[in-house]
Structure formats: structure tokens, C-alpha cells
Amino acid sequence: MNTTKKPNLGGITLEMMVTQLAEQIGWKAMGDAVPIRCFTHEPSIKSSLKFLRRTPWAREKVEQLYLDHALFKNIT
């Protein structure tokens, strides 16, 4: 049985997360935090979404990056 709790994203779509992260922290920072080719080599929203929708571990890392960034942004 999988006891991992999925983070509550409150209706935020994957596309919204990737777009906001790209605008706010940039592709380089995203690639440093989650080292996947769709962030480090010719990044685009379309290629990132395609990869992240097929790759659960990478999607989880992006969701956590989004949550961490949103939390940090609310603190400062």
C-alpha cells in the first residue's frame, strides 16, 4: 500500500506550475533544482509538459519545487 501523501495543489495545473516557475525563477534554476533535459537543453513548456506527464518521479519533484517556491515567496 502506498502511504505517500500527494501535495494539495488547490487546482493548480502542471502547465500553470511550469509556466510560473519558468517566469519567476527561470529555466536554469529549474534545471539546477530538477536536473532533467527538458529544463536544461532547449527548454520549452511543451516539451516539459510532455516529459512530466509521462514521468511521475519528475512530476513529483516539480510539484515540490513549486510548493517550496510558493512557500518561500509567501514568507518574504
pLDDT in tens, 50-67: 999 999 999 999 999 999
Confidence of residue 70 (pLDDT cuts 50, 70, 90): confident
pLDDT score of 71? 74
Tell which phi-psi region holds residue 36, choosing left (phi > 0), alpha (psi between -120 and 50) or beta.
beta
Rounded distance, CA 69 to CA 51, Å? 21
Q: What is the mean pLDDT of the chain?
A: 88
Residue ranges per domain, the chain?
20-75
Q: What angle do CA 67, 64, 47 make, to 5 degrees?
A: 105
What is the arithmetic mean of pLDDT over 22-40? 96
CATH number of 20-75: 1.10.720.30
pTM of the model: 0.82
